[in-house]
Amino acid sequence: MSETGDDASFRVAAIPLSREPSVDPLLATVVAVLRAEGVRVAGFRQERGSDGGLAVEDLTGGGVFPISQQLGSGSEGCSLDPQGLAEAACAALAALETGPDLLILPRFGKAEVEGQGFRAVIERACEWQVPVLVAVKPDCSEAWEAFTGGAADRLAPDRDALLEWCRAGLGVRT
């Protein structure tokens, strides 16, 4: 699929994840604009919890799922909490049952590369032809390409570009 693919049955786009601009506030802005336009958005927004750990906020139900765990001083392992991420993925699968117009996910990372995390959510959304917008970690780009068969669009981390892609996936003319 090209940079602006037209295959309406397979609308998936990746935003390359970088430090600047931060993708989380950008996705929050995109969600707010689309909701104001009446778009039913499902998925998650990533945030830092009050304890400094990572959490994802459910865009459908508003619940917050902690996705990092305290490993103790001196630990160098991954702080991602697989149970928290699995609970969030279950909530996302349930949200897909409500028939959203669009699915937005904060990351395609190590868990998804390993077949966990939001991977099944992305697959189900594609099966049901719900457009998917997801930020992809740089070290996971190769796995993302393999997962999507190279058919996903790549978008610049730019508000207008993201809104244009989302609206096109929803069949909205601007």
Give per-residue pLDDT as tens, 9-39.
569 999 998 776 689 999 999 999 999 999 9
The pLDDT assigned to 42 comes to: 96
**Residues above pLDDT 90, as percent of the chain:** 67
**Residues above pLDDT 70, as percent of the chain:** 84
Pair type for strands 132-136 and 54-58: unpaired
pTM for the model stands at 0.86
Q: Report whether pLDDT(75) > 60.
A: no
Report the mean per-residue pLDDT for the chain.
86
Note whether 150 and 141 are within 8 A (CB).
no
The pLDDT assigned to 80 comes to: 78
Instruction: Measure the CA–CA gap between 53 and 145, rounded to whole angstroms.
Output: 29
Instruction: Measure the CA–CA gap between 127 and 121, rounded to whole angstroms.
Output: 10
